[in-house]
């Protein structure tokens, strides 16, 4: 059964504000339903970038970069690990998830991304 990773990207900061309680309530119901069907495996929100740590690799050199990141326009604010029988079912559910945000937090600008998880190891570039 294919697995998928969902991401929510949005602006960060005081201008965005906190999600409304109505969204939390609707998400609790939706995630509960999806989990009961075996589709929602795990997920959650992420803390802001003020405590984030990145390791950047450039030409074989590693540099640690700590947040906050003033140049960031959008950040990943949440994630989910999902499982559906088909890509089409995952797409329908992803649109339902986006609709919850449009309905309960209409002033929010966000991108909800769905990506299928590969079950195969990547092929080396020099193969």
CA distance 14 to 10: 12
Global pTM reads: 0.81
Among the listed residues 78, 89, 87, the one whose alpha carbon sits nearest the alpha carbon of residue 8: 78
CA distance 122 to 77: 27
Architecture of domain 3-116: 2-Layer Sandwich (3.30)
Residue 49 has pLDDT above 90, yes or no: no
Confidence grade of residue 65 (pLDDT, cut at 50, 70, 90) = confident
Domain residue ranges of the chain, discontinuous segments joined by +: 3-116
Confidence grade of residue 73 (pLDDT, cut at 50, 70, 90) = low
């Amino acid at each position: 059964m294919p697995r998928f990773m969902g991401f929510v990207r949005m602006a960060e900061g005081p201008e965005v504000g906190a999600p409304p309680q109505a969204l939390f309530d609707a998400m609790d119901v939706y995630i509960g339903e999806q989990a009961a069907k075996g589709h929602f495996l795990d997920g959650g929100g992420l803390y802001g970038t003020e405590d984030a740590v990145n390791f950047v690799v450039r030409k074989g050199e590693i540099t640690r970069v700590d947040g906050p990141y003033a140049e960031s326009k959008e950040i990943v604010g949440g994630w989910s690990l999902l499982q559906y029988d088909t890509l089409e079912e995952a797409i329908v559910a992803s649109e339902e998830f986006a609709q919850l945000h449009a309905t309960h937090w209409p002033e929010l600008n966000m991108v909800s991304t769905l990506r299928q998880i590969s079950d195969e190891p990547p092929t080396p570039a020099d193969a």
